[in-house]
Structure 1
Amino acid sequence: MTHVTTAESAPSVNKWAAVAVLLTANFMNLIDITIVNVAMPSMQSELAAPPNLIEWIVAGYTFSFALLLLPAGRMGDLFGRRRLFATGIVVFTLASLVCGLAPGIDVLVAARVVQGIGAAIMTPQTLALVPALFPPEQRGSAFGLFALTAGLASVTGPILGGVLINADIYGLTWRPIFLVNIPVGILAFTGAMTLLPRAGGNRKLGIDYVGIALAALAMLAVLVPLVEAPSIGWQPWMWPMVIAAVPLGWLFLRWQLRQEERGAPQLLPMRLARSGPFLTGSVLNAVLFSAVPSYFFTVALYLQAGYGLSPLQSGLTTTPFPLGVLAASAVTGWFGARWIRWRVLGGGVLLAAGYLGQAWAVTGMGDQISWMRMAPWFFFGGFGLGNTVSPLFQVALSAADKNDSGSASGAVQAIRQIGIAFGVAIMGGIFFAILGGAQAGDQAAYRSAILGSITYASLVAAVVIATPLLVPMRLARES
């Protein structure tokens, strides 16, 4: 049975202008995750914030964002994706204003939690709206642009953060990193109300309150240890939480099966959970992203603490990566929905080449960073990522019909967030374990640490290469 939807938008809708609106909001969210890290020292100094609260500027956003992705995706199915998308933009933009004007750390942390809620409301709708705008053969181009957005955000966040903080606009120090979201949010909201299709939701789907609670508890049990471990180390209380996630996840699936048997509302429709394309695409996407953000986190430490580069210089060094993703977006548009399996395989090979090339570049690095030595490998890695992400999105979301695309999008991105959290914990753990007590400027120690990170990233690339060779990988309509 086919689950692939056809484009539902009215002929008068400018599809690519609508995608530009979705990408703008998506970029605003993604860059907000990376830009904050650059500003943390300034925030701690100005707000006199204790360490246990300053880390919640990131953790509070991460938790609210990850926990609400799945239910927010389902709410889009229920109440209409344009409505939820616009609502999320409003919440995110207003919370950004409060962040920028926050008088103290408590207000800032609370506003960051609300910001994460707004991001969670709007983010699942971005991918879910693609099938409503494009027929299947054109979706590869759109999904390729989402990969480009992710790549750009991962490396431009530190650059933009460094520029805004160094500029010290009107003496506001770190506050412009949040206030810059205000005009962007207004632009995105205006575009959403004028350019996105107005297709309503299906209220008959209902709300699965028990499923929402069980999913939230299971994700909390996984995320709390993984998000906290990099800053406070692995504590004894973390193991019971991780172990508890297994029975909680089992209870969630059992409840969804019970709801299906009763014909009652489901948070995650079990036809998606049983779908090979959905599981393959979403899980491999999570594995892939367990390496990318965490890799650039450790690269920034290597460049800044190891070699003394500024955040701006560090960001410019990695610029070839998003350029590679940009080049890949043109290729994925040409492929459309063809040769999915081989594109994932080829993307994995290019990723592996990028990571292994960086290992070669780092091993032979002298007393100063050689941009020319690293640039080609960043480009290969970005080109590989861009060619991999688009087909994985296509595979996963091809399993959803028009009533479930929001739920599917929310689930794919929630699973990806768990993968990112695992990656930060694992790669960060490897990096700092190898680094030991080395001081900033100890190039040999930082070189060894980044090589440890590259080893994990290369193993992830190997999994990406092996999966299409071992597992059927095709769109649901081809199953």
Structure 2
Amino acid sequence: MTRPDTSGATTATTISTDTASNSLAETLSPARRWAALALLLTGIFIGLVDMQSANLLVPALTESFGASTSTLSWFIGGYTLAYGVSLIPAGRLGDRYGHKIIFTIGLAGYVLTSLGTSLAQDTTQLIILRVCHGLMGGMVVAPVFAYIQLLFTGRRRVRAFGFFLATTGVGSLIAPFVAAWSVDGLGADPGWRVTVAFSAVLGTVALLFTFKLLPRINTASVGSFDVFGVILSAVVFVALLLPLIQSDSGALPGWAIWSFATSLLAAIIFVFWQRSIEKRGGLPLLRLSLFKLPEFSFGLLTLVLAFASFTASIFIALTTLWVWGLGNDESSAALMLLPLSLGGVVGGLVADRFQALVGRFAVTISLVILTVGNIAIWLMVQIPDVGMLTLALPFFIAGAASGLFFGPINGSILARVPEIDAGSAGGTVVTLQRVGSALGSSVVFIVLMIRPGVAASDFTPDDWAATSINALLVIALFSAAGLVLSILIDFLTRNETAVREAFNTK
């Protein structure tokens, strides 16, 4: 990355985005930068506990509301859908008006919608409030990626992303216990309500420190905010994922083809619209010239496939297998998943050292390990009477691989992104992460409901076990496809030095 001119620049807490990346890194003390990151990661932790625990509330919601498959899909997928819709606009709003104010508004909204969701009296209220909760979640996360890009450079940026992933791993470790202890101890209702309200308590505490710890970043005034671009991007995202969320018993709705066509049409219009704004010298929602960088464009595709294989999808498949297929309780499922989350924490914490050791091939090698781990999981769950200890090693390997993957892939994607696009590009990265997560979880839900000759409502434990194993095979195929793309990126960027230089910066 070219070093910007920082002459005549800044105060300790107010930085222009024209020089933000290196100015923040140089002007703020290391203690101030890491304290700000700790606060930002607290927001991530809150969201992860909420999201992952929600994945384990499916049986409780079924008992509490008699919820249908569609309602359950909306509880999980609706949150993800709204979350994804808000990410790029929230990132660009941060570029335009300040990332601190967007994070603060998002965190306050997340607290309120968490409380609202926990008080829902029927499935309609539950879905509406959960969707609003997702919108606020996106406003919390997008500024985090922007701040990491602006506060840190080189290997420190990879380390910061590693801490990000480690935080999500800790959240994943804690979330199952929050859900299981609440539901097992209090019953399905109010157990699920207490689980959902948990994030409101932590969010309120984090809000108290936001004004003091987060540096304010002045933004460059480059054109008006792209409202039409926001509408188009929302149409693309909603029309693409809505049929997956509305699938019933493994079948897409009859209108799915029209929804996919609408998404494609909106995407084409979005591309032309963004190009026209960029040519006029304005500030598009997403600067499409970034996609000329192979590490950005192909990296995002790799991200989608990898996230489809190690986020919500694998937790849903394994929980279904363990509880509905093998007849264990939710607390046992939480313990069973522990090595997977613990591996993610460990992998995230050593990601920068792993990157330094293997260099530009860090993403590919981590995906090799992830694919091997996922295949091992698929094979070993088919062993009769398989126990937790038998599964612990492949779970830990797959989790550690996801941690090793996260820092290098995000560092690679964002390595050459200009500072003025930090929020927009960061929002795009997280959006594609959510696309991958939603894709994986939606496909897993579909596969879980497919059993030739048997309706999902008539499934026996053996049926749930069989469909869960099929879902785990699909998850392994997702990671294998990401590996193929990563190898292609290594080939296309074999003569590039920018990414390597960015990672080797001390």
Normalized against structure 2, the TM-score is what? 0.86
When structure 1 is superposed on structure 2, of 434-443 and 321-330 the one drifting more is: 434-443
Report the CA distance shift for 1:316/1:174 in structure 2 as closer, same or farther (over 3 A): same
Counterpart residue number, 1:116: 134
Question: Would you say 1:356 and 2:381 are equivalent positions?
Answer: no
Partner residue, 1:445: 466
- Contact 1:230 1:425 (8 Å CA) reproduced: no
CA gap of 1:155–1:304, structure 2 versus 1, over 3 A, is: farther
1:309 matched to 2:331: no
After TM superposition, the structure 1 stretch with the greater mean CA deviation from structure 2, 376-385 or 96-105, is 96-105
| Equivalent-residue separation in structure 1 for 2:428 and 2:175 (angstroms) | 25
Which stretch has the larger CA shift, 450-459 or 421-430? 450-459
Deviations 1:68-90 (A, max 9, x none): 11111100101111111111000
1:467 aligns with 2:488: yes
The 1:32–1:341 alpha-carbon spacing in structure 2 relative to 1, beyond 3 Å, is same
Residues 30 and 76 of structure 1: CA distance in aligned 2, closer, same or farther (over 3 Å): same
Alpha-carbon displacement from aligned partner over 1:150-180 (angstroms, at most 9, x marks no partner)? 3444454333211112222998332111221
Distance in 2 separating the partners of 1:146 and 1:420: 17
Do residues 398 (structure 1) and 415 (structure 2) align?
yes
Contact 1:348 1:464 in 2 (8 A): no
Instruction: Select the residue among 186, 200, 209 that pairs with 1:182.
Output: 200
Letter in 2 for 1:282: L
Output aligned runs, 1:242-253, within 5 Å.
242-253=260-271
Q: Specify the code of the residue in structure 2 equivalent to 1:278.
A: F
Structure 1 pair 128–459 and aligned structure 2 pair: CA distance change class (3 A): same
- C-alpha deviations, 1:309-348, integer Å up to 9, x for none? 2122112112112222222223223356775422112201
- How far does the alpha carbon of each residue in 1:118-162 deviate from its partner, in whole angstroms, 9 at most, with x for none? 111111111110123223231111101222233444454333211
Provide the rounded CA distance (Å) in 1 between the counterparts of 2:271 and 2:198. 41
2:29 is aligned with 1:8: no
When structure 1 is superposed on structure 2, of 67-76 and 315-324 the one drifting more is 315-324
Give the direction of change, closer, same or farther, for the CA distance of 1:443–1:73 in structure 2 (3 Å limit): closer
Tell me, yes or no, if structure 1 residue 327 matches structure 2 residue 346. Answer: yes
2:254 counterpart SS class? coil
Are the structure 2 counterparts of residues 42 and 80 from structure 1 closer, same or farther at C-alpha, using a change threshold of 3 Å? same
Aligned-residue RMSD, C-alpha: 2.8
d(CA) in 2 for partners of 1:166, 1:209: 46
TM-aligned CA deviation for residue 182 of structure 1: 2.1
Listed as ranges, the matches of 1:332-343 within 5 Å are: 332-335=351-354, 339-343=358-362
Cα distance, 1:376–1:149 mapped onto 2, change above 3 Å: same
Supply the distance in 2 between the matched residues of 1:432 and 1:45 (Cα, whole angstroms): 19
Give the length in aligned residue pairs. Answer: 477
CA contact (8 A) 1:349 1:465 kept: no
CA contact (8 A) 1:147 1:389 kept: yes
Which of 32, 35, 38 is the matching residue for 1:17? 35
Q: Deviations over 1:272-298 (max 9, x none)?
A: 232222213222111110111212211
Q: Would the alpha carbon gap of residues 231 and 124 (structure 1) be closer, same or farther in structure 2, given more than 3 Å must change?
A: farther
Counterpart contact for 1:18–1:195, Cα < 8 Å: yes
- Contact 1:74–1:404, Cα closer than 8 Å, also in 2: yes
Q: Does 1:101 align with 2:101?
A: no
Question: In the TM superposition, what is the alpha-carbon distance from 1:45 to its structure 2 partner?
Answer: 4.2
Rounded to whole Å, the distance in 1 between the matches of 2:229 and 2:149 is 26
Task: Determine the structure 1 residue equivalent to 2:150.
Answer: 132
Instruction: Write the distance in 1 (CA, Å) between the matches of 2:49 and 2:453.
Output: 30
Distance 1:451 1:220, change over 3 A: closer
Q: Distance in 1 between matches of 2:241 and 2:112?
A: 26
Aligned partners of 1:23 and 1:149 also within 8 Å: yes
CA distance in 2, matches of 1:231, 1:76: 41
Query: Does structure 2 retain, via aligned residues, the 8 Å contact 1:169–1:176?
Result: no
The alpha-carbon distance between structure 1 residues 464 and 189, as it changes in their structure 2 partners (threshold 3 A), is farther
Which deviates further from its counterpart, 328-337 or 74-83? 328-337
**CA-CA distance at 1:389 after TM superposition:** 1.2
* Cα pair 2:118 2:196 within 8 Å, conserved: yes
SS at match of 1:406: helix
1:410-466 per-residue CA deviation (whole Å, 9 max, x = no partner) reads 111112222222222334434443576341145873575355335424533543653
1:422 — aligned with what?
Answer: 439
1:253-332 residue pairs with structure 2 within 5 A? 253-293=271-311, 294-332=313-351
| Change in 2 beyond 3 A, CA 1:468/1:170 | closer
Task: Tell me if the contact between 1:332 and 1:387 (Cα under 8 Å) persists in the aligned partners.
Answer: yes
Query: Could you tell me which amino acid in structure 2 is paired with residue 8 of structure 1?
Result: L
Share of identical aligned residues, percent?
A: 26
> Any conservation in 1 of the 2:236–2:264 contact (CA below 8 Å)?
yes
TM-score, normalized by length of structure 1? 0.90
Change in Cα spacing, 1:446 to 1:419, as seen in structure 2 (3 Å) is closer
* Residues 250 and 449, structure 2, Cα contact 8 Å, conserved in 1: no
Q: Tell me which residue corresponds to 2:8.
A: none
Gaps of 5+ in 2: 5-20
Greater mean deviation of Cα atoms: 15-24 or 150-159: 150-159
